[in-house]
Amino acid sequence: MTEPQPASASSELASRKAALRRLVRDRLRAMTAEDRVAGSARICERLQARPRLAAARRLMAYMPLPSEVNVEPVALWCLARGVELCMPWIDADRREIVCVAVSSLSDEVFAIEALGIRAPRGGKVLPPSQLDAVVVPGLAFDAEGRRLGRGGGYYDRLLGQMRPDAEVVAVAFACQLVDEVPAGPLDRTVPAVVTDADAFYTQTPPLPSVRTPVEPPEKRGP
């Protein structure tokens, strides 16, 4: 069981995280729309070239906020190849991410929720342990795989439920990389980061993925 941090240490950690969020948000605001489009395209190309991600049969991506890396091309690439694609729905009461399978990225499938986030209207729910891969957003990352999110801890809890052999890869613009992300005992690291300038493992690559068996689209039931 994780020991609770002293109040002073917890307060200092929160202050350091808040300062880093302000710094990185300023960097993101300085990016032009053209930079975001070009950077997102390079990141998507790098994601599609990753063998373990390409081998996944069940993958979760995300619907981006305006300042985030746009990975919708990767989501469409998955759907075109018959991969079971999941998108996150935030269960605010339970403070967790629910993995919802989607059949398209159309407005009929998604609704605009809090903060302008597009989230699935409904669909089959998969436990995180059934995902072969997940693409993780965030505000800041460092070379050790430490991740700074938006403060809810949702992805930390999700990553704690993933299989050890699943492909977990974070995406970010190069300006979101920092020397050190302040982290506490509940903050999860990511094993790989892909940016518009580079792609690197932050830890030893995991064992070859044990893919979840999925029938090809034409053989699926109604």
The angle subtended at Cα 171 by Cα 165 and Cα 177, nearest 5°, is 115
pLDDT of residue 206: 52
Which tokens in the block code for residue 173? 């613009």
Mention every residue, 6+ apart, whose C-beta is less than 8 A from residue 46. Answer: 194, 199
Mention every residue, 6+ apart, whose C-beta is less than 8 A from residue 147. Answer: 136, 138, 140, 141, 155, 170, 181, 187, 188, 189, 190
pLDDT, one tens digit per residue, over 105-156 is 999 999 998 778 899 998 999 999 999 999 999 999 999 999 999 988 999 9
Q: Which residue spans within the chain are E strands per DSSP?
A: 58-60, 84-91, 96-102, 110-112, 118-120, 125-126, 133-136, 140-141, 147-148, 167-171, 192-194, 199-201
218 has pLDDT over 50:
no
Compute the distance between CA of residue 125 and CA of residue 87 in angstroms, rounded to an integer: 10
Q: Is 10 helix (H, G, I), strand (E, B) or coil?
A: helix
Which tokens in the block code for residue 24? 């990185």
Taking all residues of the chain, what is their mean pLDDT, rounded to a whole number?
89
Q: For 43-53, what is the mean pLDDT? A: 96
Q: Locate the domains of the chain by residue range.
A: 9-211
pTM to 2 decimals?
0.86
pLDDT of residue 6: 63
Question: Phi, psi (5° rounding) for residue 100?
Answer: -115, 125
Compute the distance between CA of residue 10 and CA of residue 161 in angstroms, rounded to an integer: 24
Least confident among 27-36, 176-185, 197-206: 197-206
pLDDT of residue 84: 98
Q: Which residue has the tokens 């075109």?
A: 80
CATH class held by domain 9-211? alpha beta
Q: Is 204 exposed, middle or buried (0-12, 13-18, 19+ CB in 10 A)?
A: exposed
Q: Which residue has the tokens 């996150």?
A: 88
